[in-house]
Amino acid sequence: MNILLIDNNDSFTRNLEHLLVSAVAGCNVDIKPYSRLDSLEYSAYDLIIISPGPGEPAEYPGYKRIFNADKPVLGICLGMQIINELHGGATGRLNGCVHGKTDIIKFDGTKRVVARYHSLKVTMVSSKLDILAVNRDDVVMCLGNAEKRLLGYQFHPESFMTPDGGGYIAFALHFLGLN
């Protein structure tokens, strides 16, 4: 599987690459900086991943074209917020920020521990996306649309504080129709 990982200048990008390599047998991960977004060719990739990053979705214009590439897209943290906003949703500030803390979410019928690193949250979910996980404060932790092959995680599966990060990658591949 060929994976394009678009790096939004985030320190977790290499951790995400390592998780992908360990969780997806035989995959090839190409990391490209956000600054090259406009010149990227998507046809050789099976999956596009939008990395976490600093700032807010409005600071990363140009992502709309990847949704026209007819490829499955997974967004992590900022990447999830970008998916949501470009499909009509909205992002706002959390009360405070959550950096390097664990939380319990309701996901796929079970309660799970995940790592959070964010100060923004989805405040309005796009009508084109479904909420797939929340925490106890109803902060959206996962959203997606299987038919449109879009999935986003607000938490960080690549963090050492998220047990079974590979399980979230496996869920994403299944949800996005890649296995």
d(CA 160, CA 114): 9
Known catalytic membership, residue 142? no
d(CA 44, CA 62): 20
Active-site option among 17, 85, 142, 156: 156
Known catalytic membership, residue 41? no
Active-site option among 17, 147, 158, 174: 158
Q: How far is CA 27 from the centre of its chain?
A: 18
| Contact (CB, 8 A) for 31 and 8 | no
Known catalytic membership, residue 97? no
Q: Name residue, tokens 């900086």.
A: 33
What DSSP element (H or E) covers 116?
strand 110-124
Among 27, 70, 34, 65, residue whose Cα is nearest residue 52: 34
| Contact (CB, 8 A) for 84 and 122 | yes
Active-site option among 41, 56, 77, 142: 77
Catalytic residues: 77, 156, 158
